[in-house]
Structure 1
Amino acid sequence: MIHLVRHGEAAGGDTVDPGLSELGRRQVHALAHRLAFRPVRQVLHGPSRRTTETATILTENLGAGPVPSDLLLDRTPVPSTERSGDYPTHRWEWFQDVPEAERDINGAELTAAWHKLWSEHHDAEVVLVTHAFVISWFVRQVLNAPPATWMRIGPIGNATLTSIGPNIAGEPVVETFNAEVVLPI
């Protein structure tokens, strides 16, 4: 079972790589309590500060150390010129504003990342801490949906849980999607 987790709420400010806000830390602690009774073997996370902090809080309660993974980088699937027709025209201008460092042409890197993560971890309880667009693309992959579908999945909330496990044939299926945890008062 692979549990996809979006990082907790990021702290405000003009920083390029923000950490978690106080609310974000509370969100992640609540999620850690929800996962506490699962036999999680590993918590992988992207390199950003907010995914690293989220993974660290989760592992304090789960007993598995955080492991950084470039497979969980913050990426945005952007269509190539040849594939722009896969997306509605009203989205084309938005793609122009995607920072160069985050561009993943036709989602090729995310698709390869998902296949690698699934093949290596589908038979164990693993938590993957990443970003909203990454989770949306992974879910789109599991559903074998058209490329633009990732833009209609969500919004993926902070510190939410999406769980993907194998069906009887060993194929990935979405079992839980974007599940929020209730914060204690």
Structure 2
Amino acid sequence: MATRHLYLVRHGAADPFGELTATGARQAHLLGDRLARLPIDAVWHSPLPRAARTAGILGEHLPGVPVSEAAELVDHVPHVPENPPSAWAGFFDGYDAAEAAAGARLAEALVDRFARPAPSETHEVLVTHAYQVAWLVRHALDAPPDRWLAMSCGNTALTVIQHRAGTPAALLLHNDMGHLPADLRWTGFRPGPHP
């Protein structure tokens, strides 16, 4: 039975203008070393510069593997809850129905393109953003739409989901930072203690 292996990656650490930093580049090289041991068929990335640059660095470690843009991986809010948790109320303040609908359409396109079995065995890296990783994990677990809000993702952390025909999706790893030394872990998270 063919399995679609998705290696979900949040881009490396970026500056306030959305460009990859030296830290982000170092994170991407370390992840590239890890992925080089796997039979990767393709690297897909968001159109945004921080994701495109991260994917380019991964491509340096994966000779011959195509690195391509996928519009569905762009950073967006995939779902606006009717009653957001109080901690998120300010974030969603001002989202109108048109913006919420546009985000939902992008989320549906993301799932339609990547969260399904493939006709043959494939290993694909998706370099995207925290919300898209959370949305794909939520989808794999068949969790309610609001659950994406509780799933954080570190820069260049690795999440692995498998899709096979006739079976539920399998979440193998979530937010794994084993390829990063301590000083490069937990970027992309709020300040505070981390395990």
| TM-score normalized by the length of structure 1 | 0.83
Contiguous gaps of at least 5 residues in structure 2: 184-195
Q: Secondary structure at the match of 1:19?
A: coil
1:4 to 8, 28, 31: 8
Correspondence for 2:175 = 178
- Deviation per residue, 1:145-176 (Å, 9 max, x gap): 1111101112x000111000136844311101
Contiguous gaps of at least 5 residues in structure 1: none
Are 2:138 and 1:140 aligned? yes
Would the aligned equivalents of 1:56 and 1:66 in 2 still touch at CA under 8 Å? yes
Are 2:95 and 1:95 aligned? no
Q: How does 1:22-171 map to 2 (within 5 A)?
A: 22-63=22-63, 64-79=65-80, 84-85=82-83, 87-88=84-85, 91-96=88-93, 103=100, 107-119=104-116, 121=118, 123-154=121-152, 156-166=153-163, 169-171=166-168
User: 1:60–1:106: structure 2 CA closer, same or farther, 3 Å change rule?
Assistant: closer
Cα displacement (A) at 1:144: 0.9
RMSD: 2.8
More helix by share: 1
| TM-score normalized by the length of structure 2 | 0.79
- Deviation per residue, 1:27-79 (Å, 9 max, x gap): 00000111111010100000000000000000111121210010101011343
In the alignment, the residues of structure 2 paired with residue 7 and residue 51 of structure 1 have an alpha-carbon distance, to the nearest angstrom, of 5
- Runs of 4+ in structure 1 off by over 4 angstroms are 97-106
More divergent stretch after superposition (96-105 vs 106-115): 96-105
Q: Which amino acid aligns with 1:137?
A: W
